[in-house]
Structure 1
Amino acid sequence: MSSLSVYHVSSPELPNKVLTHLEDIASTLAEQGVRFDRWHAVAKIQPGAGPEEVIAAYQENIDKLMTERGYLCVDVVSLNSDHPQKAELRAKYLDEHRYAEDEVRFFVAGRGLFSLHIGDYVYAVLCEKNDLIVVPAGTPHWFDMGEHPHFVTIRLFNNPEGAVAGFTGDDIARRFPRLED
Structure 2
Amino acid sequence: MSSLRIYNDNDFSQPLVFTEDGAEISRQLNEAGIRFERWSTRELDEGATPDSILAAYQEEVEKLKAENGFTTADVVSLTPAHPQKDEFRKKFLDEHRHSEDEVRFFVRGQGLFYLHLEDKVYVVLCRKNDLISVPNGTKHWFDMGPEPEFTCVRLFTNPEGWVAQFTGDEIASKAPRFEQLIEEA
Q: CA deviation at 1:163?
A: 2.6
Counterpart residue number, 1:20: 20
> Secondary structure at 1:23's aligned position in 2?
helix
Counterpart residue number, 2:86: 87
> Secondary structure at 1:117's aligned position in 2?
strand
- Identical residues among aligned pairs (%): 54
Cα distance in 1 for partners of 2:83, 2:65 equals 33
Cα distance in 2 for partners of 1:70, 1:9 equals 32
Q: How many residues align?
A: 180
Cα distance in 2 for partners of 1:60, 1:177 equals 36
Q: Deviations over 1:90-113 (max 9, x none)?
A: 000000000000000000000000
Cα distance in 2 for partners of 1:29, 1:79 equals 26
Consecutive unaligned residues in structure 2, runs of 5 or more: none
Counterpart residue number, 2:149: 150
Counterpart residue number, 1:116: 115
> Secondary structure at 2:45's aligned position in 1?
coil
Q: How does 1:64-143 map to 2 (within 5 A)?
A: 64-143=63-142
Cα distance in 1 for partners of 2:91, 2:159 equals 21
Counterpart residue number, 2:40: 40
Counterpart residue number, 2:55: 56
Q: CA deviation at 1:151?
A: 0.1
TM-score (norm 2): 0.95
Say what the alpha-carbon RMSD is for the aligned residues.
0.9
Runs of 4+ in 1 over 4 A off after TM superposition: none
Query: Counterpart amino acid of 1:21?
Result: D
